[in-house]
């Protein structure tokens, strides 16, 4: 199975996917430190920095064909009891982007 990874962090979900014989073909991660870790462990796998830029057209442009599965380590801070719980008013509320990508 070929998968795309959203909000990849340092690739924990992707490592588990590798153990399950899945191939991560694209990452989406905004944090520079996490990007460095991903590049070290998955050299050559493209990283799209902003989830808002993940589109079918962009994936085709960078040479990614069919994808079987999408994983998303969706940021929970907008809804966390440990935070300000601004919900949809928080800039980190990116669930609508996940929904858009899944719909595509």
Question: CB under 8 Å, gap of 24 or more: what pairs does 44-48 form?
Answer: 47/8
Confirm if 31 and 51 have CB atoms less than 8 A apart: no
Helices and strands counted in the chain (H then E): 4, 4
User: 3-state class of 24 per DSSP?
Assistant: strand
Is position 28 annotated as part of the catalytic site? no
Q: Determine which one of 15, 60, 76, 102 is catalytic.
A: 76
**Cα–Cα distance for residue pair 55/69, rounded to 1 Å:** 15
Catalytic residue numbers read 76
């Amino acid at each position: 199975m070929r998968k795309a990874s959203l909000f990849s962090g340092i690739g924990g979900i992707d490592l588990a996917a590798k153990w399950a014989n899945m191939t991560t073909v694209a990452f989406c991660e905004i944090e520079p430190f996490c990007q460095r870790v991903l590049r070290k462990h998955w050299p050559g796998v493209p990283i799209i920095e902003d989830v808002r830029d993940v589109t079918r057209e962009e994936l085709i442009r960078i040479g990614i064909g069919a994808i079987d599965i999408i994983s998303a380590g969706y940021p929970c801070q907008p809804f966390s009891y440990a935070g300000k719980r601004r919900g949809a008013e928080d800039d980190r509320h990116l669930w609508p982007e996940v929904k858009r990508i899944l719909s595509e």
